[in-house]
Structure 1
């Protein structure tokens, strides 16, 4: 008989509901989020359609079920809840709702990249997290200096000579933060060496690095977040995925464009950083000129987002056509 499974996943344990084709619960319970836990719960269950809600701990059970030839889907958490509220009237647990949705073929799927791309995503995200932590400690050092009335205006605090100046102040908190910064920077440099090596051996990364202002880290982050360009039918789909498309509220014939929302935060951030660097490094490119023109009429932030959207469309066609960056612009397809 057909089986339909919904799995609610947490860091340490999962809750699953197994239903038959009529929606009757044939098995339900908790199990550890580990291979031994999966094996115990799914013993005797075969050829089931399974839904797992995307979150922080989905990978182990997804990979285990996929290896066992289950038809497993990763569900978009926000869209799943919306559909469940509309379609399912019973007050059921999350795993039961997922089982109901997979049985009704209403699961809003999330794209699952291959293992190689997942590892790449982990690497670039880890580098980003460490940089964020580094910035936190830099801000803490500045806060300590301000609290003590120590003037550092006009000084780059992160050069070798300035770090020595900070040590000579003999402020215990500053010394502690400097030690943490040293450790973080060592880990960041180690990750960057690996990222640089990967980018040097990847054709797509080399293509993106022909864009002025796009470093090996930026190129690899974009590739890791996109995973494969073939899954985007048009450049507009990629812009929406990146979260660079304004929200629209429509009432009758009136249409109001609001702020950008959704998308992948890391991809949006890296594309905005790329535009910032690009405008500075290539002021005569068609993207930089577009930004400068728009900045005369719109707020700087709006112009930056629009330029990032234009750059995203260019990146879409560069990867599709496997062509290097054209400073003068592409054919009309880039406006799609």
Structure 2
């Protein structure tokens, strides 16, 4: 095959060691000179490796995305000017069976790179990558807080306290006061129920039944530990929120544009920016972005027959927040909400999740246009599809539906 990049290198990355293969032109025309070296992954050794690549006048460096171990290698390479780094999906560059060594993996990757068969993954700029790490850790803490809250509920259930069966938020202001009283030794259901605040006081009789149990001292100790952990997680999340708000300031304009989309709030906009950045030139079309995110319908065609294609594995962090935004917008009187309900009817009673993924795909397409064209979202209205359809056709369709349900209807036009 034709050599596209004459001076390339490829790195097989592991935790403690990397194997580097360099392929450059040989002494004679058409020949290739190849060298393979191994380095430890200490930063000084990585800088030495970078200096060797610069001395060999390498222009393109390829390596697989191996856990988090590629990151220090990548950062060392970015310190040198003139190196284009291709971070590749390991599933896309599998070696030939029977040749599995670190050196052969590096050489194989270099051979693919020199003929232009590798496609690099999206690597965000440093300021976007910093926000990404913060938002992803915030999500982990929120998930951990949810798990800790569930553990607290299990302790209350074991003690016969059915607080979450009456109160919608068992650790809200009222629920927290009741749990604190239980920990302090109070066992009288009437006294505990009287701690309710606001609208929950209307449920005091039910609370008295729910708070009569077999709550023991060891239950109190466990509840105290769970509440302390939840408070600690809340404090950590608050600190992360403040730091993310500060880091997102340079991209406040893009964040505010995204918030004009129904279902996309402040936190969702921050997560979206942290995952895809604000420069859409990396994704030539909206379809490229949707495919990268794993929200584009899959293709499965063989022998001229098209079969059901599922979405690909993409960016789970981005897909999750977009699906959450889709569920939020499904309850709004907007064009996206109308589209969700339209798709839900088409997919059937169990098609809610499928419709939500389709709306998430639509939201992502809108995001690409907003960021690429520096504009804000203008909603077309909940009656967009009604006005777009032919009124006579729509009327006949509704009449047929009423007829199928056993009704005979006569329509009278409203006065203009």
**Does 2:11 match 1:7?**
yes
Q: Deviations over 1:154-191 (max 9, x none)?
A: 32123133223334443223322222221111111111
**Does 2:245 match 1:196?**
yes
**Does 2:158 match 1:150?**
no
Paired position in structure 1 for 2:231: 182
Comparing 283-292 with 98-107, greater Cα deviation is found at 98-107
Paired position in structure 1 for 2:403: none
The structure 1 residue matched to 2:274, chosen from 202, 224, 248, is 224
Q: CA deviation at 1:218?
A: 0.8
SS at match of 1:50: strand
**Structure 2: runs of 5 or more not aligned:** 1-5, 26-30, 184-218, 385-416
SS at match of 2:101: coil
Aligned length: 322
SS at match of 2:165: coil
Q: Deviations over 1:238-272 (max 9, x none)?
A: 22222112323222232122332211101111111
**Does 2:47 match 1:39?**
yes
Paired position in structure 2 for 1:122: 133
The structure 2 residue matched to 1:273, chosen from 316, 319, 324, is 324
Q: Deviations over 1:22-47 (max 9, x none)?
A: 56653322412x32121344554422
**Does 2:339 match 1:296?**
no
SS at match of 2:284: coil
Structure 1 Cα separation of the partners of residues 245 and 270 of structure 2: 9
Aligned counterparts, 1:163-178, within 5 A: 163-170=176-183, 171=219, 172-178=221-227
Structure 1 Cα separation of the partners of residues 356 and 275 of structure 2: 20
Paired position in structure 2 for 1:57: 69
**Structure 1: runs of 5 or more not aligned:** 332-336
Paired position in structure 2 for 1:17: 21
Instruction: Give the TM-score normalised by the residue count of structure 1.
Output: 0.86
**Does 2:80 match 1:68?**
yes
SS at match of 1:191: helix
CA RMSD for the aligned pairs?
A: 2.5
Q: CA deviation at 1:286?
A: 0.5
Paired position in structure 2 for 1:252: 303
Paired position in structure 1 for 2:36: 27
Paired position in structure 2 for 1:132: 143
Which structure: greater strand fraction?
A: 1
Q: CA deviation at 1:106?
A: 2.5
Q: Which has the larger radius of gyration?
A: 2
Q: CA deviation at 1:96?
A: 3.4
Structure 2 Cα separation of the partners of residues 250 and 196 of structure 1: 46
Paired position in structure 1 for 2:380: 328
Structure 1 Cα separation of the partners of residues 24 and 263 of structure 2: 55
Structure 2 Cα separation of the partners of residues 121 and 236 of structure 1: 23
Structure 2 Cα separation of the partners of residues 27 and 42 of structure 1: 14
SS at match of 1:6: strand
Paired position in structure 2 for 1:319: 371
Native 8 Å contact 2:12 2:18 kept in 1? yes
Comparing 98-107 with 299-308, greater Cα deviation is found at 98-107
Paired position in structure 1 for 2:261: 211
Native 8 Å contact 1:205 1:216 kept in 2? yes
Native 8 Å contact 2:291 2:312 kept in 1? no
SS at match of 1:138: helix
Q: Deviations over 1:204-257 (max 9, x none)?
A: 101111223322211121122112222222222222222112323222232122
Are the structure 2 counterparts of residues 72 and 317 from structure 1 closer, same or farther at C-alpha, using a change threshold of 3 Å?
Answer: closer
Paired position in structure 2 for 1:334: none
Structure 2 Cα separation of the partners of residues 42 and 296 of structure 1: 58
Structure 2 Cα separation of the partners of residues 295 and 61 of structure 1: 47
